[in-house]
Structure 1
Amino acid sequence: MEPSRRELLLVSEELGEAEVAALKFLSREHIPLRKLEAIQKAQDFFDVLQEKGMIEGENRFFLMELLCRIRRIDLLESMLHTTRQNVERELQIPGRAKVSAYRYLLFQLSEDITEDDLRSFKFLLGEELPKCRLIPKTTMLDIFIEMEKKGILGEDNLSTLKKLCAEINISLLKTIEEYELKFGEEKMFVAEEEGGSTAGCEAPARCLESCVALDSPARQHQPSELESYKMSSRPCGVCLILNNHSFAKARERVPELRAMRDRNGTDVDAEALKRVFKGFHFTIAEYRDLTAEEIRKTVNIYRCEDHKDKDCFVCCILSHGKKGVIYGVDGQEVSIQELTTSFTGKNCCSLAGKPKVFFVQACQGDAYLEGVNIDTDSGEPDASVETDARFQLECIPAEADFLLGMATLQDYVSYRSTSEGTWYIQALCRHLENSSPLGQDILTILTAVNEEVSRRTCKPNSKQMPQPTFTLRKKLVFSVD
Structure 2
Amino acid sequence: MELPRQRLLVVSEELGRAELEALKFLSLEHVPMRKLEATQKAQDFFETLQEKGMIEPGNLSFLRELLYRIGRIDLLEAQLGSSREEMERELQIPGRARVSAYRYLLFQLSEDITEDELKSFKFLLGKELPKCRLNPKTTMLDVFIEMEKKGILGEDNLSILKSLCAEINISLLKRIEEYELNVFGEEEMLITEEHRGSTGGPQAHARWPASSVASDSPASWNQFSQLEAYKMTSQPRGVCLILNNHNFAKAREAVLEPKNMKDRNGTDVDAVALKRVFSKLHFTIAEYRDLTAEEIRKTVKTYQREDHKDKDCFVCCILSHGKKGIIYGVDGQEVPIQELTTSFTGQNCHSLAGKPKVFFVQACQGDACQKGVTIETDSGEQDSSVETDARFQLDCIPAEADFLLGMATLQDYVSFRSPRQGTWYIQALCQHLEYSCPRGEDILTILTAVNQEVSRKSCKLNAEKQMPQPSFTLRKKLIFPVN
TM-score by length of 1: 0.50
The TM-score with structure 2 as length reference comes to 0.49
